[in-house]
Amino acid sequence: ELQFWSGQGNVKYVKTIDIELANHWRSEAWKNNNTQQQQGPENGVFAPPHLFGELAKTDEGVALLAKGKYIQMFLQDITAESASTVSQKAAIFALAQIGRSSCGWRLLEKHSVLTTLRMLTEQSASLSLRGIAFTALGMLCANEVARTSLVSVGWLSPLSGPLALPHVHIAVPSILTKSTFFRLPDDQFEFSCHNFPMKEHP
């Protein structure tokens, strides 16, 4: 089972999430003002259980992950130049699932995973990887120790308001004006505006 999840299982998991997100944010959803009312208050994407996340909840599971050197393997998948985007996303998701529990977080700390995720979030040339790394930082906020550790890499998690726990798990740069998270790479982007007619302003 571990051998399957460390390869195909992780990739299949993140592809499933991607499909669910694509369906959730499909353009048709924006054409009907009553979509949210029709779907109800549970509108959203459900993330199914993840094997590595479940293992990380117990000392025995963490020992198994450490023995198999899975953290190092995932970090290598993230940084390898030959790795596909989906493999990188799968590795990021696996690390975030592991770090959601206190036992798993102690394992991630030994390998500076938080620093790696923060660098991906702010510096990756791939906007897709930035997005999944941002999601991973938010997932880690489910763990109080990990949430506190965000300060060391210049990020914070709201303690009050509508974006605070337990309603939302989210992390944001502590100083928005200095963070590169919102800065696009130096590439040329073309935007499709055919569905949004531009109005001339005086």
Which structure tokens are listed for 134?
A: 């941002």
Beta strands in 67-180 (DSSP E): 155-156, 172-173
Question: What's residue 162's pLDDT?
Answer: 55
Q: Which pLDDT tens digit goes with each residue over 38-50?
A: 444 355 667 788 9
Tell me what pLDDT residue 39 has. 45
* Distance (Å) of CA 82 to CA 69, 76, 88, 115: 20, 11, 10, 22
Instruction: Identify the segments of the chain with pLDDT beneath 70.
Output: 24-45, 159-168, 185-202
Closest by Cα among 151, 118, 154, 112 to 137 = 118
Number of residues written out for the chain:
202
Question: Which pLDDT does position 178 carry in this prediction?
Answer: 81
Q: Is 172 helix (H, G, I), strand (E, B) or coil?
A: strand
For residue 88, what pLDDT is reported? Answer: 94
CA distance linking residue 67 with residue 179, whole number of Å: 36
Contacts 24+ apart (CB under 8 A), 42-48: 45/17, 45/20, 45/21, 46/20, 47/17, 48/13, 48/16
Instruction: Return left, alpha or beta for 10; rule: phi > 0 is left, psi -120 to 50 is alpha, else beta.
Output: alpha
52 three-class SS: helix
99: Cβ contacts below 8 Å, ≥ 6 apart: 56, 105, 108, 113, 114, 139, 140, 143, 146
